[in-house]
Structure 1
Amino acid sequence: MQMQSSWYERIAAPRSSTCLACSRTIPYYGDLEELKAEQWRRSLCPSCVERIPFIEEVGCSSCGRHIRCEDCQRQPLQQYGLAYNRSVVQYQEHMKEWLALCKFKGNQSIAFVMAGMMIEQYMPLSLTAKVNKPTRSSSDWWSMLKEWWNPESIIEYPDLVTYVPSSLERLEERGFNQAELLAGTLAKAWGRPLLNCLDRTRDTGKQSQQSRAGREQSLEGTFTWNQAAFQGIRFYMARQLKPYLHILLVDDVYTTGSTIRACARALQDGLRELHIQGMVSSYTWARA
């Protein structure tokens, strides 16, 4: 006869949870919402953490790809007003599975994990060393940022964080914009304003099902400045008394860069209308 466990045994027994990626049993550290973004590893099993294909060596200093990029040679990001892009992971098959859990199955907790990875990898070299072995992607990016603005600058994060907007159809279908979730977590962690700078004028369909030329054509004129953002930026600039502005554009995946480039061009158009000198850089979770 099996004895029923006592109330003390039930309370004292260690609690367990499941890995967000593969559902294996892992120790319970608390509700995900209560964890700090830097603790994203605690929501995954060691095996899933080990399989993450971090971009540890940057092959293209422009788009942040782990290998040499011919796209940037054909279409330099700078001509679209984008300083450069950086990404955290290579968009391999199991990373595609993670994103599918978020975008198509509504698992927003995965977005928290993705954002935690982005926060960790974006840290300046001095801070990254405390968490993980510093990568060339993080150190090179910070060197370029400081060199572009002011080598003596002590500002270590962007002035404003924004994101690639989703169409109304996608919002109704999914109930959320994963790029906004990522950007919101980053902005909160850094104590920076999150501003919805762009509107999407139409649904261009799934970019993954279009050719390179088709993506460029379908995205032309798709993004425009959100007029409410003008007032937000004017207010921010008045308080900061700064002659320049660094806007960080956030998205989930950089594939051909068509979407990021179109957004960067729209952002630069708005900054010119405001007569503000500004740099736009982008940060995505994955790079194809």
Structure 2
Amino acid sequence: MLNRLNDITDFVHQLTHRIHNLFAPPGSTCLTCGTRAVLSPTYPGICTRCVKQIPWIRSIRCQRCGRAIGCPDCIRPHMQNRSFICNRSAVQYNALMKEWIGMYKFRGHERYAPLLTSLLTQAFQAMSEELSSAVAKENQASVAHPATSALPPVDAGFHPPSPRASTYARVQPSSPHTSTVVRDQPQAATRQTQSLLQSPKPRWRPDAVTYVPVSSERLAERGFNQAERLAAGLAAACRLPVVDLLQRRINTAKQSFKTRGERIETMKEAFSMSPGAIDVLRELHMRGAASKTVREHTSPFRLLLVDDIYTTGSTLDACGRVILNAAASSDIPIEIYSLTLARS
């Protein structure tokens, strides 16, 4: 009798489940809002309504730190000598992003990892297009005016990237010099155009990716380093090597509770190079130099430093300074760029 009652109960449960699926809206449950809907093919786990709420940094006001509004930090005289060339971030650190990052970083919801990695990857694509455009303009300026070597301001119009954004520079409009050639020497203009079309477009691309380390106490508490996970996901998506270069010497506690001055002071002696890291950096530099053209051979090694949140930039600056000093002692020319998931 008891077995028959259990069978009836199981049958009712199965029937209820089937009826629920039959009348429920199509799709799956959204990771962030909990509604059942058709999920985005680009941003894993979330519905199209939540995609529209992503606070992309659509225009850049500060070319150095990538902030969408005026930056009081970067205009300070002592901030002009930061260790990184520039920083770019995917989104503004608003209440929604604080919730998403917190669910992953502090509560260990692993399903957020692909979503956050996809946001960072989109920002990297936009960063690549932006800097590739700057390189293209620099090359055009050096051809037209060999004595000019200044890098023109980068164009922030690529933000936010589209899901199908290319990592190549966009075609630049013709210069006045080209118009004169076309008017006076049409055959020479044709040859020049063919030469430009045949030559590969200049492309900005880092040689390796690294990340901001966490202390052993924080690693034991969370079980993972969110910056390392983001860097590994980005490197895998973009086919870039990821390297472990830094270690945190002291536990600096949570930076979110500190003032700007306290953050800067705390970070001064917080990091050092990991054992054997400089050998890894030297090997990557030599390997990259061997595969580059004669012109590329003279260019510095480009390193992309990844973290989750940019607030004052003191953490990234401290990490970059340690790497710059170690590279200089080993005669490795290097440029450091930073990429973060969110910008406060």
Same fold (TM over 0.5): yes
Match 1:203 to one of 251, 264, 270 = 251
Verify: 1:159 aligned to 2:207, yes or no. Answer: yes
Which residue is 1:212 aligned to?
260
SS in 2 for 1:120: helix
Q: Give yes or no for the alignment of 1:287 onto 2:343.
A: yes
State the SS of the aligned residue for 1:227: coil
CA distance in 2, matches of 1:153, 1:274: 32
Measured in 2, the distance between the counterparts of 1:272 and 1:54 equals 36
Aligned residue among 11, 20, 30 for 1:19: 30
Counterpart residue number, 1:278: 334
Following superposition, the deviation at residue 221 of structure 1 comes to 1.1
Letter in 2 for 1:286: A
Partner AA of 2:235 in structure 1: A
Offset of residue 146 of structure 1:
6.1
Give the deviation of 1:78 after TM superposition: 4.9
Identify if the C-alpha distance between structure 1 residues 198 and 72 changes in structure 2 by more than 3 Å, giving closer, same or farther.
same
Instruction: Give the structure 2 partner of residue 140 of structure 1.
Output: 130
8 Å Cα contact 2:207-2:240 kept in structure 1: yes
What one-letter code is carried by the residue in structure 2 that aligns with 1:25?
R
Equivalent residue, structure 2, for 1:269: 325
Cα offset, 1:153, TM superposition:
6.8
Residue identity matched to 2:32:
A
Q: Once the two structures are aligned, what percentage of the paired residues are identical?
A: 36
Letter in 1 for 2:319: C
What letter is aligned with 1:115?
Answer: T
Q: Number of paired residues? A: 263
Deviation, structure 1 residue 139: 4.4
- State the alpha-carbon separation in 1 of the partners of residues 273 and 88 from structure 2: 23
Whole-angstrom CA distance in 2 between matches of 1:279 and 1:159? 10
Distance 1:141 1:268, change over 3 A: same
Counterpart of 1:260 (choices 283, 300, 316) is: 316
Query: Cα–Cα, structure 1 residues 26 and 77, in superposed 2: closer, same or farther, change >3 Å?
Result: farther
Q: CA deviation at 1:111?
A: 2.5
Give the alignment's Cα RMSD to 1 decimal: 2.9
| TM-aligned CA deviation for residue 4 of structure 1 | 4.8
> Partners in 1 of 2:26 and 2:302 — Cα distance?
44
2:271 is aligned with 1:223: yes
**3-state SS of the aligned residue for 1:96?**
helix
Question: How has the CA–CA distance of structure 1 residues 277 and 146 changed in structure 2, closer, same or farther, with 3 Å as cutoff?
Answer: farther
Which ranges in structure 1 are unaligned for 5 or more consecutive residues? 30-38, 125-136
Selected match of 2:67 from 62, 65, 85 = 65
Partner of 1:36: none
Mapped partners of 2:210, 2:25: distance in 1: 41
For the 8 Å contact 1:40–1:117, the answer to whether it is kept is no
Match of 1:246 among 295, 299, 302: 302
Amino acid at match of 2:265: Q
The residue type paired with residue 255 of structure 1 is T
2 CA distance for matches of 1:225 and 1:121? 27
Shift of 1:46: 1.4
Q: How does 1:121-136 map to 2 (within 5 A)?
A: 121-123=123-125
For residues 5-58 of structure 1, what are the alpha-carbon distances to aligned partners after superposition, in whole Å with 9 as ceiling and x for unaligned?
A: 9x9xx9xx99843222122223479xxxxxxxxx44241111211111100110
- AA paired with 2:312? T
Amino acid at match of 1:233: L
Q: Secondary structure at the match of 2:85?
A: strand
2:94 corresponds, among 92, 95, 105, to 92
In the alignment, the residues of structure 2 paired with residue 216 and residue 207 of structure 1 have an alpha-carbon distance, to the nearest angstrom, of 10
Shift of 1:233: 1.6
Q: Is the 8 A contact 1:77 1:83 kept in 2?
A: no
Distance 1:239 1:17 in 2: 46
Matched, 1:172 2:220: yes
8 Å CA contact 2:30, 2:36 repeated in 1: yes
Q: Is the contact between residue 114 and residue 182 of structure 1 (CA under 8 Å) also seen in structure 2?
A: yes
Higher mean alpha-carbon deviation, 67-76 vs 142-151, is at 142-151
Aligned residue type for 1:262: A
